[in-house]
């Protein structure tokens, strides 16, 4: 079981001091590793001082070689480009919001071809160096190869939007070895984002004579990162008011269960949304519904920012998004056993329902807004901005995707971001 992992986290063993060395090794490379203090004083959007405590879900993670604890302090990545344009990417990595997902699901790390519902480690699957896709700056087809890039890792299980510490329960003792033992998870994704944003505000200061240091910005993210990009978009626009910012949410269609909405999108949520969400989203807490969540979120953005551009991408039967919809549904039904959540051949109705709800919400947004568009691709691959979920058939989704009316995704995205005059173009795979 993953007892070593949680025990090291729960007991708060002293972190291993690896940050300074790691940062030194990165100084001369293209990608810079930016360390973040565990406590920071910043000035919030209202001009008020605010103390934030950036961190990952657990302070340490075990070394995969010998199980010794490794420092799991939050850090992010930056690569300077040749242009004055900036891409901000929120990485994915699942989510957790209760005992079953935050604690019990960690045991799935030992199940072949399965995994916990979230990634609590900043050290694994959280680097842009070999991510490919939009980060492949050697590919001449990359519309963003000359852009500066900010890569925000994800290790908090809260869609990059939480600011809380919650003591969950190891109900059966499968993780800690003690039934009923508390396991504290730090949902500090919002604090992490604020730390990155503070760095960006200092790095991209406006120059004399009102010359901006940023011409364009694309805010994007994949999976949980797509939600992070969406929920934090207003903060970035407010931080850089003279920059017209575009948003692409990749593989984050907000097709969720009613129980999930009631647990998370309310005051008193485990992620502390009532104190972290921008006002345009916070005002809806307690009124959101599973049927309309995606439409509600993007309509609020579209109407509040009529000159900005908003877009979503997904495949028609995204296997990971369907899986999470099943997990949420199973939890709503009282099934908290993570070993029973995996998709089965008999789960075709989950795929059909998810596709119908996703398509309807995308089409409704396209019909009711003037600055939103979507691209629905063929198949079931999860995410397109990187190669994290590439297959032998589709080794480089960012460049290979052209299933919607034969139009390449990169062409569609390039027009969405860079065209002088914007006319929404929504595309969907139609089948043979």
Confidence of residue 390 (pLDDT cuts 50, 70, 90): very high
The alpha helices in 347-403, defined as continuous H runs, are 348-368, 397-400
Which percentage of the chain shows pLDDT scores above 90? 88
Show the tokens assigned to 396: 């480089």
Average pLDDT over residues 73-85: 96
Q: Which domain holds residue 409?
A: 3-428
Q: Of 29-43, 154-168, 195-209, 286-300, which range is least confident?
A: 195-209
Q: Does 23 have pLDDT greater than 50?
A: no
CA–CA dist 136, 72 (Å, integer): 26
CA–CA dist 125, 93 (Å, integer): 8
Q: Does 425 have pLDDT greater than 60?
A: yes
State the pLDDT at residue 67.
Answer: 83
State the pLDDT at residue 370.
Answer: 97
**What order of strands is seen across the sheet that includes strand 216-222?**
31-35, 75-79, 148-152, 85-90, 216-222, 244-250, 309-315, 372-377, 427-428
What does the chain come to in residues? 432
Cα first-last separation, the chain: 46
Number of domains in the chain: 1
Q: What is the mean pLDDT of the chain?
A: 91
Q: Does 28 have pLDDT greater than 70?
A: no
Report the helix count and the strand count for the chain, using DSSP H and E. Answer: 12, 15
State the pLDDT at residue 432.
Answer: 63
State the pLDDT at residue 207.
Answer: 57
CA–CA dist 195, 366 (Å, integer): 34
CA–CA dist 162, 227 (Å, integer): 12
Which percentage of the chain shows pLDDT scores above 70? 91
Rounded to the nearest 5°, which phi and psi values hold at 309? -120, 135
Confidence of residue 14 (pLDDT cuts 50, 70, 90): very low
State the pLDDT at residue 12.
Answer: 27
């Amino acid at each position: 079981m993953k007892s070593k992992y949680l025990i090291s986290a729960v007991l708060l063993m002293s972190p291993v001091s690896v940050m300074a060395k790691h940062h030194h090794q990165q100084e001369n490379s293209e990608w810079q590793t930016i360390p973040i203090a565990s406590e920071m004083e910043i000035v919030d959007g209202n001009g008020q001082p605010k103390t934030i405590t950036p961190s990952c879900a657990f302070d340490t993670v075990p070394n995969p070689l010998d199980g010794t604890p490794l420092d799991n302090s939050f850090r992010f990545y930056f690569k300077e480009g040749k242009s004055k344009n900036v891409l901000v990417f929120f990485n994915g990595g699942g989510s957790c919001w209760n005992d079953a997902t935050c604690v019990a699901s960690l045991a799935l790390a030992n199940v072949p071809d399965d995994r916990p519902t979230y990634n609590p480690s900043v050290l694994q699957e959280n680097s842009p160096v070999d991510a490919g896709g939009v980060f492949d700056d050697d590919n001449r087809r990359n519309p963003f190869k000359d852009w500066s890039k900010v890569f925000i890792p994800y290790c908090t299980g809260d869609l990059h939007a939480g600011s809380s510490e919650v003591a969950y329960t190891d109900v059966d003792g499968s993780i800690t070895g003690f039934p009923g033992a508390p396991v504290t998870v730090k949902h500090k994704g919002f604090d992490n984002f604020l730390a990155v944003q503070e760095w960006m505000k200092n790095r991209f200061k406006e120059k004399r004579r009102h010359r901006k240091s940023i011409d364009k910005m694309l805010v994007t993210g994949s999976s949980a990162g797509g939600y992070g990009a969406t929920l934090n978009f207003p903060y970035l626009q407010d931080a850089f008011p003279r920059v017209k910012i575009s948003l692409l949410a990749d593989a984050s269609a907000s097709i969720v269960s009613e129980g999930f909405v009631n647990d998370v999108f309310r005051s008193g949520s485990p992620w502390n949304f009532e104190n972290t969400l921008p006002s345009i989203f916070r005002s809806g807490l307690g009124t959101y519904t599973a049927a309309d969540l995606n439409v509600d979120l993007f309509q609020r953005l579209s109407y509040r920012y009529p000159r900005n551009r908003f877009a979503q991408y997904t495949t028609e039967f995204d296997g990971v998004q369907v899986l999470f919809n099943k997990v949420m549904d199973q939890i709503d039904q009282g099934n908290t056993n993570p070993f029973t959540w995996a998709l089965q051949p008999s789960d075709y109705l989950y795929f059909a329902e998810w596709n119908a709800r996703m398509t309807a919400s995308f089409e409704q947004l396209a019909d009711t807004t003037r600055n939103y568009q979507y691209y629905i691709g063929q198949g079931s691959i999860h995410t397109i901005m990187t190669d994290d979920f590439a297959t032998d058939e589709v080794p480089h989704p960012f460049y290979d995707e052209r299933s919607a009316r034969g139009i390449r995704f990169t062409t569609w995205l390039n027009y969405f971001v860079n065209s002088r005059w914007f006319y929404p173009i929504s595309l969907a795979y139609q089948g043979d």
